[in-house]
Amino acid sequence: MIHLRPPVPPRLTATRLHAGVWEGVLDAPGTDPPGIEALHLGRPVPGLRLTPDPDRPGRFALALPIPAEILSDGVQTCVIRDRTSGATLASFTILAGSPLDHDLRAEIDLLRAELDLLKRAFRAHCVETAPAPA
């Protein structure tokens, strides 16, 4: 009886985002570059490069320049996936713009107000439960 192992999916490890280029290390079975694609809002992101590591067969340096067109206010997510299986290998999110900045400030203001409320309640509790002076 012959047992066939299912194909090993590629594994992508993010390494850094530098000078507008998202970088990672891709480990895949075999020596041929696997079919990898990057998507933003379901559309392909151009410029993805796979460079073989000459010292490690099956290992590739992945570089994805982030196009200026996808940078805008709010939250933008790019997904990198195996084209054959459709499996997501990695993703990265970019947060930008003044609307987001306003949302974060509002959240921080709410947290500060809640902290002040808790501090006042704790102080009042300490005063109420403190033993009376003798």
Is pTM beyond 0.85? Reply is: no
Q: Tell me the Cα Rg of the chain.
A: 25
pLDDT one-digit tens code per residue, 84-119 = 888 999 999 998 877 666 777 778 877 888 898 889
Give the helix ranges, DSSP H, for 17-96: none
Residues 11-96, CATH architecture: Sandwich (2.60)
The reported pLDDT for the residue numbered 117 is: 85
CA distance 40 to 67: 10
Domain locations in the chain as residue ranges: 11-96, 97-134
Give the helix ranges, DSSP H, for the chain: 98-129
